[in-house]
């Protein structure tokens, strides 16, 4: 199936399982100036969207025609019901989406600059209550791929529980995939190190890979992460594309696609979904990385984390048009 594993996800009949955060995203665009205390700034639009790394990745997978189940937590509140309705409307399996009494649904205020860059104000809420006890192992046993999205901001899973989750999923025969979020606490390897030997596919961006390893170049960071135990590393390089690193040979840089960036929210999650959707269909890792770049480029052209993502057929047409 690919250079880093003898596993073929098509050998297993259940849906892909995404485990991670779900967030109500309140997106303001474009923020031209940051207001002083007591003042206001005008923007053209403020919208409410389904977000969070787990929800974004699951939504993009569903858009790309991949059957997917989501394991996550919301609050028992209006924002939680909004997320449940939005995610269900997209065709995502929600048997693993739990309601948390006593904690609000996670919410992010995203302030988007005219060039698409973002500032975030975030309340963790119910995401802090997602633990191993929420994992439906019956889903994992049938899953071709188990993807953990948003590690390092999942307090109930980060550290030893994440290692246990990935080790057991791998033992049960799934291809394991891990994406992370920037860790403001600086605990990088302390939290992730125990889990990395159980990860088939690790998907940090360059800044995260640098922080984890202390290496400045993508190639050196990728090599250090392989040494830490992962089977393959795909380092996201933004508009420049990505770098694919396995033990099978030299690193491969896969160029990105030009895009008129409006909002980069969810671009990394879209990339992950594109990569997994291609691997789920039996593509090799290099080809999957190119498609992932295309899905990431689609994402940044619209407000919100998933609105710009095309169908599988539309994405293939984008690849064909690029030559």
User: CA–CA separation, 63 vs 16, rounded Å?
Assistant: 13
Cα(49)–Cα(77) distance, integer angstroms: 16
Helices (H) and strands (E) in the chain, counts: 10, 13
Strand partners, 190: none
Token pair of 182 as six digits: 């920037």
What are 307's two structure tokens? 């609105």
Q: What is the mean pLDDT of the chain?
A: 93
Average pLDDT over residues 280-297: 97
Residue 1: pLDDT over 60? no
Long-range CB contacts (within 8 A, 24+) of 208-212: 208/180, 208/182, 209/233, 209/235, 211/182, 211/183, 211/186, 212/188
From CA 284, how far away is CA 278, in angstroms rounded?
8
Specify the pLDDT at position 2.
45
223 is written with which tokens?
């090599």
Supply the pLDDT for residue 66. 98
The domain over range 14-33+43-322 is classified in CATH as 3.40.50.970: no
In 3D, which of 121, 147, 179, 109 has the Cα closest to residue 9? 147
Q: What is the pLDDT of residues 252-278, one digit of tens each?
A: 999 999 998 877 778 999 999 999 999
Q: Quickly count: other Cβ atoms within 10 Å of residue 27's Cβ.
A: 22
Nearest Cα to 152, choosing from 185, 123, 181? 181
b/e string for 204-214 if b means 16 or more Cβ within 10 A?
bbbebbbbbbe
Share of the chain above pLDDT 90, in %: 83
DSSP line for 44-104: SEEEEEEESHHHHHHHHHHHTT--EEEEEEEESSHHHHHHHHHHHHTT-EEEEEEEETTSP
Task: Give pLDDT tens digits for 74-122.
Answer: 999 999 999 999 999 999 999 999 999 999 999 999 898 888 777 889 8
Our measurement of the distance from residue 256's CA atom to the centroid of its chain's CA atoms, rounded to an integer in Å, reads 18
**pLDDT (0 to 100) of residue 298:** 96
Q: What pLDDT is stored for residue 112 in this prediction?
A: 87
Residue 30, both tokens:
């474009």
pLDDT tens digits, one per residue of 11-28: 667 899 999 999 999 989
Whether the model pTM is above 0.85: yes
Residue 9 has pLDDT above 70, yes or no: no
Confidence of residue 313 (pLDDT cuts 50, 70, 90): very high
Please tell me the predicted confidence (pLDDT) of residue 8: 60
44-51 average pLDDT score? 93
Quick: pLDDT tens for 190-205: 999 999 999 999 999 9
Q: Cα 315 to chain center, whole Å?
A: 18
User: How is the chain split into domains, by residue range?
Assistant: 14-33+43-322
* Neighbour count for residue 89 (Cβ, 10 Å): 11
**Both tokens assigned to 16:** 């892909």
Residue 187's contacts (CB-CB under 8 Å, 6 or more residues apart) are 152
């Amino acid at each position: 199936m690919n250079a880093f594993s003898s596993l073929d996800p098509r050998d297993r009949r259940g849906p892909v399982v995404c485990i991670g955060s779900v967030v109500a995203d309140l997106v303001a665009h474009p923020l031209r100036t940051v207001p002083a205390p007591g003042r206001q700034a005008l923007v053209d639009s403020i919208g409410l969207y389904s977000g969070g790394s787990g929800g974004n990745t699951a939504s993009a997978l569903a858009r790309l025609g991949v059957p997917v189940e989501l394991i996550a937590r919301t609050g028992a509140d209006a924002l939680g019901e909004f997320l449940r309705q939005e995610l269900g409307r997209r065709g995502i399996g929600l048997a693993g989406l739990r309601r948390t009494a006593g904690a609000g649904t996670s919410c992010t205020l995203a302030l988007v600059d005219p060039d698409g860059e973002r500032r975030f104000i975030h309340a963790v809420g119910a995401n802090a209550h997602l633990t191993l006890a929420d994992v439906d192992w019956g889903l994992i046993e049938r899953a071709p791929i188990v993807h953990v999205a948003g590690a390092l901001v999942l307090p109930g899973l980060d550290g030893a529980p994440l290692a246990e989750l990935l080790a057991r999923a791998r033992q049960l025969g799934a291809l394991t995939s891990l994406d992370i979020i920037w860790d403001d606490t600086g605990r990088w390897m302390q939290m992730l190190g125990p889990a990395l030997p159980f990860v088939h596919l690790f998907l940090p961006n360059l800044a995260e890979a640098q922080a984890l390893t202390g290496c400045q170049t993508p190639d050196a960071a990728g090599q250090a992460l392989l040494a830490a135990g992962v089977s393959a590393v795909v380092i996201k390089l933004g508009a420049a594309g990505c770098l694919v690193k396995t033990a099978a040979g030299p690193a491969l840089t896969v160029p990105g696609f030009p895009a008129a960036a409006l909002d980069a929210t969810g671009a990394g999650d879209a990339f992950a979904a594109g990569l997994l959707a291609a691997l789920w269909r039996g593509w090799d890792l290099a080809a999957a990385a190119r498609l992932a770049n295309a899905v990431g480029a689609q994402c940044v052209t619209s407000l919100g984390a998933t609105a710009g993502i095309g169908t599988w057929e539309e994405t293939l047409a984008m690849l064909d048009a690029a030559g």
